[in-house]
């Protein structure tokens, strides 16, 4: 929790500030200069009402009732029922009150407190622009809810994203009137009690204030801004996962070179490749010569005879390529020794490794486009009608009170649709890397499912991939855009809507599953990386003994002593021994090693099957917290 205060002026609210208000409970203050503009618009509206001007949502009904003018007296005064609290007010006050209380009809579980805090801050900021007609006292009361941590209960579902987020914002505004419910100190209370607990008093709304409070894109904007904040962390985490996996594969970095990406300079792709190069800097695993990498072989009691290797939890091996099988490949074997271990003799890795910059980069570009839209919207006016009190020479009231469509959420909805489609893409390539790590046919010499399985009783990391696959499928089924399905509302007065609230809510929810997929990849990659480093360093220690026969004992397909090829075999094993000695300690990139250490602070190496549920939970928490990036 932070004690910082963020000044809202209607023009400079950032996504980072929204995140600080939402997650760190930063307080807000209202810019005095802008409050003067807010009051100017409210005074202008009051003056026009006193002159009898017809103004939408002030002296007329809303939506399909826009053609009905409010009278000077109630036609139903003698009817039973009604609202006693509003009987002593004007019809215009009753209109604003009824707008809020009848529109608070959302259903579902309540939004998390951080979403509602973001909504409060965003609503205050847009009203600070001074084009909504709200009074300073009402705007300050809205800010007081946030600063006193009175969190209105807002069920998640009920907005169609035009005319703004009417229903959820009504749940937010109704607490100002002493209605609805709110959380105070984690306790769910009736709105009146929540205000009393915080030392606040309920309000009576004036001209257009109900409409100013509930007509706008605030719910979709708040969820979108928080989703983008989360996605920024997850995109960087995906790069880290890819780097750790590439190191675990002793993969190739040629596909990451800057001159490669200069030929196709999509911004996100260039940035992803640069970040992967940074994460892998210092690695002695990436681009390792093929012949140095041994293959995993199941441990036996006789696997290691030398005392220093008695603690090894695996055996290693290579296959020898005899001279008779090298015809036509002489240039290759002039560069590489004739030993096949864990790495395939091919200059490129699978797409899930080699194309990480292109895939991660495309997701980055989708995120950047969404950021551009959300950054504009954070400081936009999104209610209706819009008030321009400074246009003093306007010929008619319609020039100063303009009915427009800024409440329509389609700009946000389409941006979220783009990002929504990108999330399962990032999850999918992560799952493919995870699958490659556990598949013995494709993991470049690592043990099947990353476990020794000496007694054929261990499953290792096999089922971790199942969970990742289930998450990816779930994300893919939720990626269909909500924004393409408009359902008209308000008796067809509002005949095209954005569904942006659903879109942004889906994206925020989907970031959690993406986080889990990345956690599972990193959990698995750490196991693979430890195996890879230990196997390579065991080979180096074996070579350091200076006994070529000890190393030759790990080579299958060697010619028998006395065979015509035996002397050449001895020379080539000696060359392999020298190459391993010259290589130095094998280790991952500097940033990858730091991340690996953080993972090992949460879960240890798995030598035998054990319960994994708590470890998976801890890994998910590590990724969700952002601590691994730190």
Quick one: which of 595, 581, 586 has its CA closest to 546?
Answer: 581
What's the CA gap between 291 and 317, in Å, rounded? 11
Sign of the Cα torsion 293, 296, 297, 301 reads: positive
What's the CA gap between 574 and 570, in Å, rounded? 6
Residue 569 is encoded by which pair of tokens?
């075999």
Peptide bond into 220 cis (omega under 30): no
How would you classify the pairing of strands 181-184 and 187-190? antiparallel
What's the CA gap between 96 and 80, in Å, rounded? 21
Residue 155 is encoded by which pair of tokens?
């069920």
What's the CA gap between 40 and 135, in Å, rounded? 9
Helix (H) or strand (E) holding 6: strand 5-8
What's the CA gap between 96 and 99, in Å, rounded? 5
Half-sphere exposure at residue 284, Cβ-oriented, CA atoms within 13 angstroms: 11
How big is the chain by its Cα radius of gyration, in Å?
32
- C-beta atoms surrounding 474 within 10 Å: 14
Residue 617 is encoded by which pair of tokens?
């939970």
Query: Could you tell me which residues come within 8 angstroms of residue 437 by beta carbon, excluding any fewer than 6 positions away?
Result: 245, 248, 249, 443, 446, 450, 461, 524, 525, 528
Q: Helix axis angle, 566-583 relative to 500-544, nearest 10°?
A: 120
Is 37 within 8 Å of 135 (Cβ atoms)? no
Residue 519 is encoded by which pair of tokens?
């956690």
What's the CA gap between 195 and 179, in Å, rounded? 10
Query: Could you tell me which residues come within 8 angstroms of residue 414 by beta carbon, excluding any fewer than 6 positions away?
Result: 483
What's the CA gap between 238 and 257, in Å, rounded? 19
- C-beta atoms surrounding 508 within 10 Å: 23
What's the CA gap between 429 and 435, in Å, rounded? 10
User: Chain centroid to CA 555: how far?
Assistant: 47
Selecting among 56, 97, 290, 418, the annotated active-site residue is 56
Is 229 within 8 Å of 417 (Cβ atoms)? no
Q: Could you confirm whether 56 is annotated as catalytic?
A: yes
**Tokens 């389609």 belong to residue:** 410
**Tokens 């994203």 belong to residue:** 161
What's the CA gap between 132 and 229, in Å, rounded? 28
Residue 539 is encoded by which pair of tokens?
């080979």
Quick one: which of 165, 115, 223 has its CA closest to 504?
Answer: 223
Q: Which residues are known catalytic residues?
A: 56
């Amino acid at each position: 929790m932070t004690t910082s205060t963020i000044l809202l002026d209607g023009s400079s609210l950032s996504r980072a500030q929204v995140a600080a208000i939402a997650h760190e409970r930063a307080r807000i203050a209202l810019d005095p200069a802008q409050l003067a503009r807010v009051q100017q618009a409210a005074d202008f509206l009051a003056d026009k009402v006193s002159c009898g001007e017809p103004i939408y949502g002030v002296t007329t009904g809303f939506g399909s009732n826009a053609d009905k003018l409010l009278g000077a007296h109630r036609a139903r005064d003698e009817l039973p029922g009604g609202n006693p609290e509003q009987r002593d007010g004007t019809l215009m006050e009753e209109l604003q009150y009824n707008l809020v209380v009848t529109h608070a009809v959302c259903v579902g579980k309540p939004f998390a407190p951080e979403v509602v805090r973001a909504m409060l801050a965003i609503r205050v900021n847009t009203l600070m622009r001074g084009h909504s007609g709200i009074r300073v006292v009402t705007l300050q009361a809205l800010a007081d809810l946030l600063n006193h941590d009175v969190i209105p209960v807002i069920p998640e579902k009920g907005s169609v994203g035009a005319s703004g987020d009417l229903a959820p914002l009504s749940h937010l505004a109704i607490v100002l009137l002493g209605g609805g419910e709110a959380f105070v100190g984690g306790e769910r209370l009736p709105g009146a009690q929540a205000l009393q607990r915080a030392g606040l008093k309920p309000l009576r709304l004036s001209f257009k204030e109900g409409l100013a409070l509930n007509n706008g894109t605030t719910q979709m904007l708040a969820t979108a801004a928080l989703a983008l904040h989360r996605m920024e962390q997850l995109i960087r985490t995906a790069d880290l996962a890819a780097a750790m996996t590439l190191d675990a594969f002793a993969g190739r970095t040629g596909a990451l070179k800057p001159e490669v990406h200069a030929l196709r300079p999509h911004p996100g792709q260039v940035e992803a490749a640069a970040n992967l190069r940074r994460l892998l800097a210092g690695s002695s695993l990436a681009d390792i010569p093929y012949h140095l990498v041994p293959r995993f072989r199941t441990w036996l009691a006789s696997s290691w005879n030398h005392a220093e290797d008695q603690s090894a939890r695996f055996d290693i091996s290579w296959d020898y390529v005899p001279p008779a099988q090298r015809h036509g490949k002489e240039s290759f074997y002039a560069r590489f020794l004739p030993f096949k271990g864990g790495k395939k003799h091919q200059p490129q890795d699978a797409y899930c490794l080699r194309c990480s910059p292109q895939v991660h980069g495309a997701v980055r570009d989708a995120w950047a486009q969404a950021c551009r839209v959300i950054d504009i919207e954070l400081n936009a006016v999104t209610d209706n009608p819009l008030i321009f009190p400074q246009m003093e020479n306007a010929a008619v009231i319609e020039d100063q009170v303009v009915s427009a469509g800024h409440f329509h959420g389609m700009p946000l909805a389409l941006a979220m649709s783009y990002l929504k489609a990108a999330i399962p893409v990032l999850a999918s390539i992560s799952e493919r890397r995870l699958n490659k790590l556990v598949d013995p046919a494709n993991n470049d010499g690592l043990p099947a499912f990353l476990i020794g399985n000496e007694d054929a009783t261990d499953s290792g990391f096999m089922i971790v991939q199942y969970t990742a696959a289930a998450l990816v499928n779930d994300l893919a089924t939720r990626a269909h855009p909500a924004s393409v399905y408009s359902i008209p509302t308000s008796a067809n007065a509002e005949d095209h809507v954005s569904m942006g609230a659903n879109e942004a809510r889906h994206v925020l929810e989907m970031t959690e599953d993406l986080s889990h997929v990345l956690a599972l990849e990193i959990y698995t990659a750490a196991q693979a990386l430890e195996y890879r480093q230990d196997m390579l360093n065991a080979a180096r220690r074996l070579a350091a003994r200076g006994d070529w026969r000890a190393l030759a004992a790990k080579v299958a397909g060697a010619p028998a002593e006395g065979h015509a090829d035996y002397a050449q075999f001895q020379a080539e094993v000696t060359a392999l021994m020298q190459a391993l000695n010259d290589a130095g300690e094998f280790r991952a990139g500097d940033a990858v090693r730091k991340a690996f250490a953080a993972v090992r602070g949460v879960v240890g190496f798995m030598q035998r099957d054990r319960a994994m549920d708590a470890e998976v939970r801890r890994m998910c928490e590590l990724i969700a917290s952002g601590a691994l990036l730190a």
